[in-house]
Each structure stands twice: as structure tokens, then as C-alpha cells.
Amino acid sequence: MAWDEWEHLKSDAAARGSAQMQLNQYPADQGGGSATGSASASDDLKSDKKAWVKAGEGVKGLMDGVGKALVKLGEGQAGLGDTGGCRSAAAQKDLYESWRKYVGDVSSRCDGLGGLLEGAGHDLSKSDQTVREELDKLQLKYQDTEAVGGHTGEK
């Protein structure tokens, strides 16, 4: 989405005024819930498995573009040769290695997250805690890499 389009959407939303938030729950005086005030079994809660699967497939589909970017990144680096004696070439090599790893991790992250979304579509019986634990594992696995560059590789 272009920045101008985003700004336009924000200004339209602001012109409509602020929206009131409403939680969909039983009013306290009408009962219908358990002793804690929540519905014991909700027929209103529905999930569309196809939507979850489609979202997962969409995220996995991002891997194609990321893979093409990785190939182009490698092609752009080809021919650099020996970086000894040239600080800018050494810095470029460090930067390339960092971005190659990062882009590869992005592709793996798309695969992992896409798989989780597809899995949620197939297996909605998992608890929120189980799904949270799986997402936390994914986040730990793909933490951002440390910044590189600005050095000659010497310690």
C-alpha cells in the first residue's frame, strides 16, 4: 500500500469520528452465562477453516518473491573476488553475508508461520496457550541478526 493511500485512509477514519468499542458478551442483568459471567458454550463463535488455510498459503507464497530476491542478491555479489586489501570490498562482503542470512531466515519464517496458520485451519482444537507457545518458538528461532559493517573484519 502506498504511503499516500495510507495517509488518505487515516484521514478518512479521523473524519468519521472515533469508533466506540463494544465487547460482544451477555449483559450482566440478562444472565445466560456461567458464574464467571462468560458464556459456557458459544454458538456465536465461528471460525472459517478455509480462511486460515488461505492465509497460511498466502504467507507461504511470499517465499517465492523472497527466493527471487535471494537469487538476485547472489547475482549482484558475483564477481567481487578477493576482498583482501580493500576495506569497502570487505565491508560489502560482510553486508552481503548478513543480508543473505537475513533473507534466508525471512523465507524460513514465512514457511513456519504459513504452516502454523494452515495448521490452525485444520486443527482449531488447540488451546490458545498451545498456539502462543508455537508462535513464541518461531519468534525465538528467527530473532533479528546483529548489525554488521563498519569494520575491517579485524578484532
- The owner of cell 456461567 is 34
What is the per-residue pLDDT across 24-51, written as a single tens digit (0 to 9) for each? 555 555 544 444 444 444 456 566 778 8
Stronger pLDDT, 113 or 154, i.e. the higher one: 113
What pLDDT, on a 0 to 100 scale, did the predictor assign at position 136? 87
Confidence of residue 18 (pLDDT cuts 50, 70, 90): low
Distances 75 to 5, 72, 79, 92 between C-alpha atoms, Å:
34, 5, 9, 14
pLDDT of the residue at 97: 86
Torsion, Cα 103 105 108 113, to 10 degrees, reads: -100
130 and 75 in contact (C-beta within 8 Å)?
Answer: no
Residue 134: closest CA among 153, 149, 151, 113: 113
Mean pLDDT of 14-18: 69
Which among 68, 55, 36 has a CA at the least distance from the CA of 118?
55
Q: Give backbone dihedrals phi and psi of 73, rounded to 5 degrees, phi first.
A: -60, -45
Rounded to whole angstroms, how far apart are CA atoms 122 and 135?
17
User: What is the model's pLDDT at position 25?
Assistant: 59
pLDDT tens sequence across 115-149: 988 887 777 656 778 778 888 888 888 777 666 66
pLDDT of residue 37: 42
Average of pLDDT values for 14-31? Answer: 59
Grid cell of 38 as nine digits: 462468560
Q: What pLDDT does residue 33 have?
A: 46
What is the per-residue pLDDT for 90? 81
Name the amino acid, one letter, at 69: A
Confidence of residue 154 (pLDDT cuts 50, 70, 90): low
The string of pLDDT tens digits covering residues 46-104 is 667 788 888 889 999 888 888 898 888 888 887 777 777 778 878 888 888 888 888 88
pLDDT at residue number 150: 60
